[in-house]
Amino acid sequence: MKLASPDTYAKRLVASVQDYALLAGQAIRNIFTRPFYSTDTIAQMDYIGVGSLPIVILTGFFTGCVLALQSATSLKEFGAIEMTGRLVTLSMVKELGPVLTGLMVSGRNASGMASELGSMKVTEQIDAMRALGTDPIRKLVTPRLIATVAMLFFLTILSDACGILGGSVVSIVLLKLNGSAFFHTGYMSLRYGDVIEGLTKPLFSGFIVATIGCYYGLRTTGGTRGVGKSTTQAVVASSVLIILCDFIVTQMMIDIFGR
């Protein structure tokens, strides 16, 4: 494979960022203008939200289980094993719930969007839509953007609840802790800023998953091989951006709420 010179690579990178920004901006603008494709949006909500329920529930539950086990082992050395509920709750609500849910949805849906739109691109269905006077971004990207942001918000809440439930099961059954004390310490440890932080992150994650998946799908070239390449790029890019966005949002929330 021929290697590109540094200046050529930099130009391609800047052009890609520009194309992505234009796509995301147009998708957002289409939310507030007609026509609206409500049927497509509802169908995507069903596919993204309901379809992702099993993996989100299992991931959240077993993450809470492992977190409780690891936390109890460390806290026992300091005689503070009763603080397990506090640590599990804060970790799930502020960090693990939003991030892991975003990564799971990214692996499932960013790849799906990239492969679906990529297949349409290489078979010239996108060009046919333009020839018939239909805006492909309004028809294909905007419904996926709305559905992903909306459903990831609720999936994160569900993941948090399952994670806390998993932590409580391990704490009560294996660690022989008091269940009432577990939930009480967890509830009392939460502050307004913690909940806001945990519910803000999925909004950004959903935006990243939808726009990155659609972007790589719409720029697919090279037939079926190009579809596979776009799918891989979409998953990798969205996962990295979700983690980067998580760091930025966390720092912003610490500056605002002080924790």
Considering the domain boundaries, does residue 30 fall inside one?
Answer: no
Residue 4 is predicted with a pLDDT of: 64
Task: Tell the residue number behind the tokens 């971004």, with chain if given.
Answer: 137
User: Which residues make Cβ contacts (< 8 Å) with residue 238, sequence separation at least 6?
Assistant: 106, 110, 208, 209, 212, 213
Considering the domain boundaries, does residue 23 fall inside one?
Answer: no
User: Quick one: DSSP state of residue 93?
Assistant: I
Domain count, the chain: 1
Q: What is the share, in percent, of the chain residues with pLDDT greater than 90?
A: 66
Per-residue pLDDT band for 199 (boundaries 50, 70, 90) equals very high
Residue 3 is predicted with a pLDDT of: 63
Considering the domain boundaries, does residue 11 fall inside one?
Answer: no
Residue 238 is predicted with a pLDDT of: 95
Mean pLDDT, all residues of the chain? 91
Residue 2 is predicted with a pLDDT of: 59
The stretches of 190-222 forming alpha helices (DSSP H) are: 192-218
Considering the domain boundaries, does residue 17 fall inside one?
Answer: no
CA gap 97, 127 in Å, rounded: 40
Considering the domain boundaries, does residue 15 fall inside one?
Answer: no
Residue 209 is predicted with a pLDDT of: 96
In which domain, by residue range, is 211 found? 36-257
The alpha carbon dihedral of 182, 188, 189, 194 has a sign of positive
CA gap 81, 79 in Å, rounded: 6
Per-residue pLDDT band for 221 (boundaries 50, 70, 90) equals confident
Exposed / middle / buried, residue 162 (Cβ in 10 Å: 0-12, 13-18, 19+): buried
